[in-house]
Amino acid sequence: MTAPATLDLVCPAGTPAALRAAVDAGADVVYCGFRDDTNARNFPGLNFDRDEMAAGIAYAHDRGCGLYVTVNTYAAAGDPGPWRRAVDDAVALGADALIMADMGLLAYAAESHPDARLHLSVQASAANAEAIRFHRDRFGIRRVVLPRVLTLAEIAALNAAIPVETEVFAFGGMCVMAEGRCALSGYAAGQGPNRHGVCSPAGQVRFEERGDKLISRLGAFTIDIRDADAPAGYPTLCKGCFAAEGRRGYLFEDPVSLDAMALLPDLMAAGVAALKIEGRQRGRAYVAQVVGAFRAAVDAVARGEAPPPSALAALTEGGRDTTGAFAKGWR
């Protein structure tokens, strides 16, 4: 794939209000899901019923913005009906693309709606050319959302070897595992992202003060112990702090946020087609500020200018950020 002339800005919409905020702040595309198990952000108070989705698509399209529907959890064995209905309804309502992971569901979408644009979700964990080409050949996917474990050099090599667009995460919560392969949340809490649409469900998250220490817990598991006045991110098992062989530390990363704004020229040179902002659990004020900042940065890079210094530190998890695996020394 040749390097794009610009980068599409794909932005989160967990609610109708956040959708309008993202569109108005300059999103090229918003992505959202139905209010059920069919999407990987199935949290209380989030997502869209069918009427809200229809209104959201109309709002976006009237302002020149696209809308992708996430049907990116894995269908329940023996009961694919809700997932197939989500595919059918998204197409009927006029979604510009479906973001999917389940092979059986991809086959259904490709056969039932041959003109629908299909994107491979990060939940499919496709991080090599063979896996991506398989999904392109079998299901006709047009874009793959890459897991947050690849370096810039690896992404450039991948883009040179595959016949589809790539989309990468540029801001928000930083998963340190290959998405789609995580069973830790299900083990600890009985609910996980691939089947239930929730990672580390909020109902099982607790923060406890113990003397001068703050204890982060998920269900029965202690995730981290830190000074009470230290910034604390949302506790997930993959970001936990562990003691082993006489050493204490995080497996890969502190529980901080990804911010790749400074790397936009490098991502464009690597052939990336689209940037994804994470945050469907976030409110409209957060969405508006992040989307507006990245809109200005993407437009600057398209003009051949350097991206402005990021001013989003106050919105990062724990008040800190990282460039993740894009340029990480441990790789």
Sign of CA dihedral 198, 86, 280, 299: positive
Judge whether residue 100 has pLDDT over 90.
Answer: yes
CB 7, CB 298: distance < 8 Å: yes
pLDDT at position 331, please?
Answer: 44
95, 48: one domain:
yes
- Tens of pLDDT, residues 68-89: 999 999 998 999 999 999 999 9
Chain position carrying tokens 């600890």: 188
**Phi and psi angles of residue 25, each rounded to the nearest 5 degrees, phi first:** -85, -5
pLDDT band at 98 (very low <50, low <70, confident <90, very high): very high
CB 98, CB 87: distance < 8 Å: yes
Q: Which residue has the higher pLDDT, 324 or 133?
A: 133
46, 131: one domain:
yes
CB 156, CB 134: distance < 8 Å: no
**DSSP secondary structure string, 79-103?**
B-HHHHHHHHHHHHHT-SEEEE--H
Domain contains 2: no
Domain contains 1: no
CB 200, CB 218: distance < 8 Å: yes
76, 154: one domain:
yes
| Residue 115 neighbours by CB under 8 Å, 6+ apart | none
Q: Which residue has the higher pLDDT, 163 or 3?
A: 163
Judge whether residue 277 has pLDDT over 60.
Answer: yes
124, 29: one domain:
yes
Q: Which residue has the higher pLDDT, 328 or 88?
A: 88
Domain contains 3: no
Q: Is 78 left (phi over 0), alpha (psi -120 to 50) or beta?
A: left
pLDDT at position 289, please?
Answer: 97
* Rounded CA separation 245/55 (Å): 55
CB 201, CB 193: distance < 8 Å: no
pLDDT at position 1, please?
Answer: 53
92, 206: one domain:
no
CB half-sphere exposure, 77, CA atoms < 13 A: 0
| Residue 184 neighbours by CB under 8 Å, 6+ apart | 177, 192, 236, 237, 238
81, 165: one domain:
yes
Judge whether residue 230 has pLDDT over 80.
Answer: no
Q: Of the candidates 250, 269, 288, which is a domain's last residue? A: 250
68, 189: one domain:
no
Bridge-based pairing of strands 97-100 and 66-71 is parallel
Single-letter residue type at 49: D
Domain contains 272: yes
114, 98: one domain:
yes
pLDDT at position 175, please?
Answer: 67
Judge whether residue 24 has pLDDT over 90.
Answer: yes
Domain contains 164: yes
Q: Which residue has the higher pLDDT, 80 or 323?
A: 80
Give the pair of three-digit tokens for residue 191.
């609910």
Q: E strand or H helix at 187, and its extent?
A: helix 184-189
| Residue 179 neighbours by CB under 8 Å, 6+ apart | 122, 123, 125, 147, 148, 193
Judge whether residue 253 has pLDDT over 60.
Answer: no
Give the pair of three-digit tokens for residue 36.
């059920």
Averaged pLDDT, 8-24: 98
203, 274: one domain:
no
Q: What is the domain range of residue 310?
A: 8-176+256-327
Domain count, the chain: 2
pLDDT at position 216, please?
Answer: 85
* Rounded CA separation 325/150 (Å): 6
pTM score, two decimals? 0.87
Burial of 306 (0-12, 13-18, 19+ CB in 10 A): exposed
Domain contains 168: yes
Can you give the CATH number for the domain in which 94 is found? 3.20.20.70
CB 33, CB 121: distance < 8 Å: no
- Tens of pLDDT, residues 41-73: 888 889 999 999 999 999 999 999 999 999 999
225, 127: one domain:
no
Domain contains 17: yes
Q: Of the candidates 218, 235, 250, which is a domain's last residue? A: 250
CB 241, CB 247: distance < 8 Å: no
* Rounded CA separation 144/26 (Å): 23
80, 140: one domain:
yes
Give the pair of three-digit tokens for residue 155.
């992404």
75, 99: one domain:
yes
Q: Of the candidates 223, 250, 277, which is a domain's last residue? A: 250
pLDDT band at 27 (very low <50, low <70, confident <90, very high): very high
Domain contains 195: yes
Q: Which residue has the higher pLDDT, 233 or 290?
A: 290
- Tens of pLDDT, residues 205-215: 888 888 899 88
pLDDT at position 20, please?
Answer: 98
pLDDT band at 202 (very low <50, low <70, confident <90, very high): confident
Averaged pLDDT, 261-273: 96
Judge whether residue 184 has pLDDT over 90.
Answer: no
What is the chain's mean pLDDT, rounded? Answer: 88
Averaged pLDDT, 127-149: 96
Give the pair of three-digit tokens for residue 245.
């062989």
